[in-house]
Amino acid sequence: MKKTTSDLLKSLKSSPSVDRYLKENQNELFFDSAADLIEYYLITKKLKKAEVIERSHMDRTYAYQIMKGTKLNPGRDKLIMLCYGLTLNVEETNRVLKMSGYPELYPRNLRDVVIIRGIIERKSILDVDIKLYEMGLELFLKPKGKNEEAEEKTEKSKKKKQKKQSKKE
């Protein structure tokens, strides 16, 4: 926050539109929550939630909960993934992290360096994961183990059986 409230009011009065004012002063605005800040980015960048979720490679329900503010304390990685989906720059990503109580991306931390570079180069979260994997660092998208795959198949099988039974009745 660099401008005084008086400076912001003058800027608002002289600005040709609200959109221009918001673009010029986005770092001066206050938000009540990270969800409000994320909503602001969705609106100002004219993005659809579905496309953001697709780009973030997050579980749809989990991502919607973060965006609505009903998911309390989402993990730092989940927020970063969502920021990738929103195509935020480093400063915007750091603002979301800071507002959520997490440390900003730190250029002395090896994993954060890869993440920052990915944001600067507008890489996808998948491309960043490939680089993290090559460097032996923790991934965003965890590969499923055999137990998880087996559980998923069992769950799908149960659902199919339930559907068949409900059709018979």
pLDDT digit string (tens) for 29-85? Answer: 777 888 999 999 999 999 999 999 999 999 999 999 999 999 988 999 999 999 999
* Residue 8 located in a structural domain: no
How far apart, in whole angstroms, are the C-alpha atoms of residue 137 and residue 130? 10
Q: Tokens 């400063």 appear where?
A: 91
* Residue 3 located in a structural domain: no
- Percent of the chain predicted with pLDDT > 90: 61
* Residue 42 located in a structural domain: yes
Q: How confident is the model at residue 149 (pLDDT cuts 50, 70, 90)?
A: low
* Residue 144 located in a structural domain: yes
Domain of residue 145, residue span: 17-157
How far apart, in whole angstroms, are the C-alpha atoms of residue 19 and residue 23? 6
- Identity of the amino acid at 17: S
Q: State the total domains in the chain.
A: 1
What's the whole-number average pLDDT of the chain? 86
Exposure on the CB side of residue 28, measured as CA atoms within 13 A: 15
* Residue 5 located in a structural domain: no
* Residue 47 located in a structural domain: yes
* Residue 163 located in a structural domain: no
* Residue 61 located in a structural domain: yes
Report yes or no on whether pTM surpasses 0.85: no
Would you say 124 and 132 are in contact if contact means Cβ atoms under 8 Å apart?
no
